[in-house]
Structure 1
Amino acid sequence: MKSELGDVVRKGVRVNSVNTLPRFDGGTPLHKFAVCRKEAAALLDISPATFDEWVRRGWMPRGVKIGGLRRWDTAEVRASWLNLMEQNMDVKEDDGENPFDYAVG
């Protein structure tokens, strides 16, 4: 059923056609706190295969399996990302002279 705003209403939850996050009837968007593998990868702007590799290496959480579904807590994914960033900040980025420093442009 469509509301007067053009949103689709299903079981008392409004889904905005522009913002695909579910909304309560009051219009407040619901933010996802548990996501599937594909969505967890999308949060990091990486492919699901890369996400799987990062999970295998222990860089990302393994997720929680409930019934036949595995979900990742978005807070844990973010915390793992921040941890990776912090670890990589300790690595000296400058590995020597830049070969383009003397290029004529």
Structure 2
Amino acid sequence: MAQYDHLPPGVLPFMVSREAAAALVGVSTSKFDEMVGDGRMPEPRKADARVLWDTDELRAACRLLPRRSGKAHDGGNSWDRVLA
């Protein structure tokens, strides 16, 4: 992520590009687009012409993804609490 080289080591930017967001989540940009489209990942924000993702929102969305067993992290369906 060369565009963030000016930040101190270990400091993550608050907002990142689509490519960086996909890399943070650990998926390709096409998979990331799919996940944004179906609501598993947050929609981007706009800063003039720039489209950026909030890293805190990405982290929160990742925590809502089901475990490999199909269960949410607490054994329940976390989306029920979010949508309630």
- Common fold by TM > 0.5: yes
* Residue from 34, 39, 49 that aligns with 2:20: 39
More strand by share: 1
TM value normalised by structure 1: 0.56
Q: What is the identity percentage for the equivalent residue pairs of Structure 1 and Structure 2? A: 36
1:85 CA drift (Å): 3.5
Q: Distance in 1 between matches of 2:21 and 2:51?
A: 11
More helix by share: 2
CA RMSD of aligned residues (A): 2.1
Q: Point out where structure 2 has 5 or more consecutive residues left out of the alignment.
A: 73-84
What corresponds to 1:78 in structure 2? 59
What corresponds to 1:21 in structure 2? 5
* Residue from 67, 71, 75 that aligns with 1:89: 71
Q: Name segments (4+ residues, structure 1) moved above 4 Å.
A: none
Q: Distance in 2 between matches of 1:34 and 1:40?
A: 9
Aligned length: 67
TM value normalised by structure 2: 0.68
